[in-house]
């Protein structure tokens, strides 16, 4: 089932949670709504579920207008952040709830619930109360409960937020496989970019009630549409620079920026990801003005497979952060004070101003 | 989790003194008077006690009236309490804090004042007097007045009990039920009510105890007509004024007995409430670490 959202707005008092948001979710897609807290992602999810209603705008499912339709009639499976399992019911009754309120015959309920408990690998735990389950088990009960009504759309609000790191990764991979098997249109909310990139077909980055960018994980990561997306998806070095004649300059190194062909110079910002910078010893042939930048090392911090190097470019007060594979860092024998030269493999330029807000 | 701290560094003589002080207060103010009531009630033996209760038609009527008025008032407060607590716990609206404060008015206003206020509104010379006279409804000096007065004084008990519990539980389970296709009634009967049942029962038991024992407000609106508008507490007072102490104490002992039963029920319910609160805390805990079997490849 495809979802089309047109110009949805929603305010809570004076707070504008969503500001004319439009979004398409193609049939069978697993889509992530990614953004910081307060960006409106959960509100959007709840509006799709019918748990909130937009002040203006339109929602369509397969071309049918469902904007005014009550949550009860939407046939949407919703998994809540803190599971929201019915505490006084055991696992079986939790999963059976949606069928019981639909007056499904008893034998059919039992068969369906047993099937779902097998699907989420919880067979034999039907008699347990939710309070006796681990976080990951509760999450799977919540998922089975949502799937019991054979929803057309599955919505998940921060589905792994309350789990510890190891369980989170396991459950994430399992959910991806489950989605591939069932093939249901699914939308989940997360503030964790790793989760969004690993799990989703499509990522929607949200900020302050509007969508910054929608695309595949690769598109969003490699071609961030706005400084916000660039900033939000991982660490970044930001520099003030100038742009003119289709080129920006960062410490004298030219960076192509064809979007601004004008001769009149303009303020711009240069964004450099730490892992897209190379370090070479200062004596190397690669070190020459115009392509690389002389700098001295300030700190070297090893963080697992990555080594973070803080440098100070000569004649500059700002620190520059470079991430290297630990093996590469070792062969370079970097120490505080080492003279190096830094070459950007890639840089992005954004002009300040509202024209970059989609 | 509740952490229990035991202070062991208080000097022994001081703690001993405090224990003696507290125990004697409880003994003098609570235990001895209660025992005295029962002792006086049964001073003529159980047969005399029974006759005092059962053979006096006015006393019989008073017991019957109390057993009617209190449940009606409690039922009204149960419905009101659930609706009001749901409103306050689930919605944010202007005047919400004021409303919560207003729920407490019956606790802070003297019951006599409450009774007089009801007379001013529903009495023959009152605001609604002419309308009620035209309808030929009698409220003051009749059982509806007793119900109104009793409802008024017990109003905070159920709603006050439910608001914190409903707020602690939160709206998510109800929203989950709605998204699974439940109607409003189904959500209430299958999710909301089971979740608040112990708190509700606690409020009902307290309201019932208060309703049975209410004197001041009921005294004003009843007009104390023996055999018609006298409830048990009013009957106790009347018998006492008529120097029929053993009969008075017999009725009083029934009230005291009800109080003791309430105490036991309350104790059991509170035990359940604590257990539920612990369970809620457990459900909120973000463990996910305890023996979390890796979900295997999904079948079906």
Query: Whole-angstrom Cα distance, residue A267 to residue A240?
Result: 7
Query: Which domains are present in chain A?
Result: 3-232 (3.40.50.300), 272-356 (2.40.50.100)
State phi, psi for B236 to the nearest 5 degrees: -55, -50
Q: By residue range, what is the domain housing residue B187?
A: 25-282
Nearest CA in chain B to A94: B177
Give dist(CA B124, CA B131) in Å, integer: 10
User: Does residue A264 register a pLDDT over 90?
Assistant: no
pLDDT of residue B132: 79
CA A143 from centroid of its chain's CA atoms: 20
Tell me the C-alpha distance between B104 and B238, whole Å: 31
**Is residue B90 a part of any domain in this protein?**
yes
- Alpha-carbon gap: B197 to the closest alpha carbon of chain A (Å): 11
Q: Is B9 within a domain?
A: no
Write the CA distances from B138 to A293, B61, B124, integer angstroms: 97, 19, 9
Q: Flag whether B289 is in a domain.
A: no
- Rounded Cα–Cα distance for residues A332 and A201 (Å): 38
ipTM of the complex: 0.78
Chain A's closest residue to B194, CA to CA, is A88
**Quick check: is B127 in a domain?**
yes
Task: Give the per-residue pLDDT at A181.
Answer: 86
Q: Any CB–CB contact under 8 A between A121 and chain B?
A: yes
Give the pLDDT confidence score for residue B284 in this predicted structure. 65
Residue that has been written with the tokens 């389950």 in this structure: A133
Tokens 């110009």 sit on residue: A7
Domain count of chain B?
1
pLDDT at residue A286 tops 70: no
At A355 the pLDDT is 47
CB distance A87–B283 less than 8 Å? yes
Higher pLDDT, A333 or A138: A138
User: What 3-state DSSP class applies to A55?
Assistant: coil
Query: Is B20 part of any domain?
Result: no
**pLDDT number for residue B10:** 62
CB contact burial B103-131 (16+ within 10 A = b; e otherwise): beebeeeebeebbbbbbeebbeebeebee
Under the banding of pLDDT at 50, 70 and 90, the label for residue A148 is very high
What stretches in chain B show pLDDT beneath 70? 1-10, 283-300
> Is there a domain that residue B252 lies in?
yes
Residue among B63, B114, B58, B70 nearest B212 (CA)? B70
Task: Give helix B96-103 / helix B143-169 axis angle, nearest 10°.
Answer: 130
A145 vs B: CB within 8 A: yes
- Cα–Cα nearest to A175, from A141, A140, A142: A140
Position A285 scores a pLDDT of 55
Top pLDDT among B114 and A260 is at B114
A89-108 residues touching B, CB cutoff 8 A: 97-98, 100-102
Using a CB–CB cut-off of 8 Å, the residues of B that contact A are 172-173, 175-183, 186, 190-191, 194-195, 279-280, 282-284, 286-300
Kindly list the residues from chain A whose CB atom is less than 8 angstroms away from the CB atom of residue B179: 49-51, 71-72, 74, 76-78, 146
Q: pLDDT tens digits for A87-120? A: 989 999 999 999 999 999 999 999 999 999 998 8
Q: In this predicted structure, what is the pLDDT of residue A95? A: 95
Q: Tokens for A26?
A: 């193609």
Q: Check: pTM over 0.90? Answer yes or no.
A: no
**Which CATH number fits the domain that encloses residue B225?**
1.10.3720.10
| Residue A339 CB burial class (10 angstroms; 0-12, 13-18, ≥19) | middle
Residue A168 has pLDDT above 60, yes or no: yes
Q: How confident is the model at residue A284 (pLDDT cuts 50, 70, 90)?
A: low
Answer yes or no: is pLDDT of A235 > 90.
no
Q: Taking a contact as any Cβ pair under 8 Å apart, which residues of chain A between 161 and 180 contact chain B?
A: 162-164, 167, 170-171, 174, 177-178
Asked if the structure places residue B177 within a domain, the reply is yes
């Amino acid at each position: 089932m495809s979802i089309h959202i047109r110009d949805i707005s929603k305010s809570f008092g004076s707070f504008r949670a969503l500001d004319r948001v439009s979004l398409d979710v193609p049939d069978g897609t697993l889509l992530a709504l990614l953004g910081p807290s307060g960006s409106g992602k959960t509100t959007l999810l709840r509006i799709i579920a019918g748990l909130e209603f937009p002040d203006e705008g339109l929602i369509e499912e397969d071309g049918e207008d469902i904007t005014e339709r009550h949550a009860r009639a939407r046939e949407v499976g919703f998994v809540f952040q803190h599971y929201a399992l019915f505490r006084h019911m055991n696992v079986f009754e939790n999963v059976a709830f949606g069928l019981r309120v639909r007056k499904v015959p008893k034998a059919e309920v039992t068969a369906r619930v047993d099937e779902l408990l097998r699907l989420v690998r919880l067979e034999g735990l039907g008699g347990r109360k939710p309070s006796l389950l681990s976080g990951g088990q509760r999450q799977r009960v919540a998922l089975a409960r949502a799937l019991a009504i054979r929803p057309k759309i599955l919505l998940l609000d921060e589905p792994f937020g309350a789990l510890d790191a190891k369980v989170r990764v396991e459950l994430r991979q399992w959910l991806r496989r489950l989605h591939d098997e069932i093939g249901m249109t699914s939308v989940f909310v997360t503030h964790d970019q790793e989760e969004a990139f690993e799990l989703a077909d499509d990522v929607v980055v949200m900020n302050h009630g509007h969508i910054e960018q929608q695309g595949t994980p690769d598109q969003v990561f490699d071609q961030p549409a706005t400084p916000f997306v660039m900033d939000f998806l991982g660490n970044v070095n930001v520099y003030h620079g100038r742009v003119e004649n289709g080129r920006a300059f960062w410490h004298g190194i030219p960076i192509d920026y064809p979007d601004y062909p004008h001769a009149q110079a303009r303020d711009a910002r240069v964004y450099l990801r730490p892992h897209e910078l190379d370090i070479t010893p200062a004596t190397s042939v690669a070190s020459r003005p115009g392509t690389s930048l002389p700098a001295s090392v300030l700190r070297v911090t090893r963080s697992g497979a990555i080594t973070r190097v803080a440098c100070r470019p000569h004649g500059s007060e700002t620190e520059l952060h470079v991430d290297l594979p630990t093996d590469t860092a070792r062969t370079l024998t970097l120490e505080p004070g080492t003279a190096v030269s830094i070459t950007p493999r890639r840089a992005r330029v954004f002009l300040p101003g509202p024209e970059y807000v989609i | 989790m509740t952490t229990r701290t035991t202070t062991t560094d208080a000097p022994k003589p001081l703690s001993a003194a405090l224990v003696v002080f507290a125990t004697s207060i409880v003994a003098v103010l609570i235990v001895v008077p209660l025992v005295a009531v029962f002792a006086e009630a049964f001073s003529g033996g159980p047969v005399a006690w029974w006759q005092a209760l059962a053979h006096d038609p006015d006393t019989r009527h008073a017991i019957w009236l109390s057993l009617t008025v209190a449940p009606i008032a409690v039922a009204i407060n149960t419905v009101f309490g659930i609706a009001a607590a749901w409103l306050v716990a689930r919605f944010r609206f202007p005047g919400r804090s004021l409303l919560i404060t207003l729920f407490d008015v019956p606790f802070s206003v003297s019951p006599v004042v409450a009774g007089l206020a009801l007379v001013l509104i529903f009495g023959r010379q009152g605001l609604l007097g002419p309308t009620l006279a035209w309808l030929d409804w009698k409220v003051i000096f009749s059982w509806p007045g007793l119900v109104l007065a009793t409802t008024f004084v017990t109003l905070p008990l159920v709603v006050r009990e439910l608001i914190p519990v409903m707020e602690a539980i939160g709206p998510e389970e109800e929203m989950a039920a709605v998204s699974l296709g439940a109607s409003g009634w189904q959500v209430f009967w299958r999710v909301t009510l089971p979740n608040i049942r112990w708190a509700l029962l606690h409020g009902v038991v307290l309201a019932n105890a208060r309703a049975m024992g209410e004197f001041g407000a009921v005294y004003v609106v009843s007009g104390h007509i023996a055999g018609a508008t006298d409830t048990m507490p009013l009957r106790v007072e009347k018998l006492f004024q008529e120097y029929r102490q053993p009969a008075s104490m017999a009725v009083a002992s029934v009230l005291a007995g009800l109080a003791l039963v309430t105490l036991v029920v309350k104790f059991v319910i509170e035990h359940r409430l604590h257990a539920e609160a612990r369970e809620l805390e457990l459900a909120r805990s973000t463990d996910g670490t305890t023996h979390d079997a890796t979900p295997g490849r999904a079948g079906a």
